[in-house]
Amino acid sequence: MIAYPCAPILEPMNKIIRLDIDEEVLAKAERIAAARHTTVDALVRDYLAGLADTDDARWREAVRRMKEISKRAGMEVGPITWSRDDIHKR
């Protein structure tokens, strides 16, 4: 049997961020994290991930709705035949 070297499995890299936060807010967040058997880092990570997912979903829904409205209104978007300078001529 021939053994082939395996490429290392690359895990997604996490970025470390620094937050300036009020001491009372942090203390409350630490109590919430403890009650949920997690960390403040995990709470923040989950919140930001959810925020990013929600924003993506809202964007996709907005694009879908705009296309639907355009189609119902009989609008068509053709090729761009103008330049920025053409638009801003006075």
Residues 26-73: tens digit of each pLDDT: 999 999 999 999 999 999 999 998 888 887 888 888 888 988 888 888
Using a 10 angstrom Cβ sphere, with 0-12 exposed, 13-18 middle and 19 or more buried, the burial of residue 62 is exposed
What local confidence, expressed as pLDDT, does residue 14 receive? 83
Query: What local confidence, expressed as pLDDT, does residue 5 receive?
Result: 59
DSSP 8-class letter at 64: H
3-state secondary structure of 16: coil
Contact 21, 15 (CB under 8 A): no
> In the chain, where are the structural domains located?
41-73
